[in-house]
Amino acid sequence: HYIDRTKEFGSIIYACAAVAFVDRNLGGRWGSRNRQAVNMFVRDVFSMEDEPVWFPKSRCFDWFSGHSWSSGIGEHLYGRHASNIEDDALLLFGIKAWARVTGDELVELQAALALGVLKEA
């Protein structure tokens, strides 16, 4: 149920950030019209909020290990599976880019912090 969200969601969020950026520069409003939908992807993998309760905080990112686990942060019968650093970086950079394009300074700072932790891991 948590398998490889960093990989798939990272690509989706990054693509949405790129579309919103280009569209905004062309005078469009794609980012604002789709903000709620894209934020659902962001909150599913990187929520730092207490509410709503159906999104666990930092679902896959392990702040102590400095990277994501493709199977979530819980222990499993055969151990945990570390995500590729490229998948983590794409996800976090995509979230940071999306937050910047949509003006969400708090999420942008949180993603920047996670990128810094990832870089040092």
pLDDT at 73: 57
pTM of the prediction? 0.86
Instruction: Choose between 19 and 59: higher pLDDT.
Output: 19
- % of the chain at pLDDT higher than 90: 53
Whether the CB-CB separation of 97 and 17 falls below 8 Å is answered with yes
- % of the chain at pLDDT higher than 70: 83
Kindly report, residue by residue over 35-77, the tens digit of the pLDDT.
Answer: 999 999 999 888 887 776 777 777 778 888 888 776 665 666 6
User: What are the two backbone dihedrals, phi and then psi, of residue 103, each rounded to the nearest 5 degrees?
Assistant: 80, 25
* Omega before 56 within 30 of 0, i.e. cis: no
d(CA 121, CA 118): 5
pLDDT range class, residue 27, cuts 50, 70, 90: very high
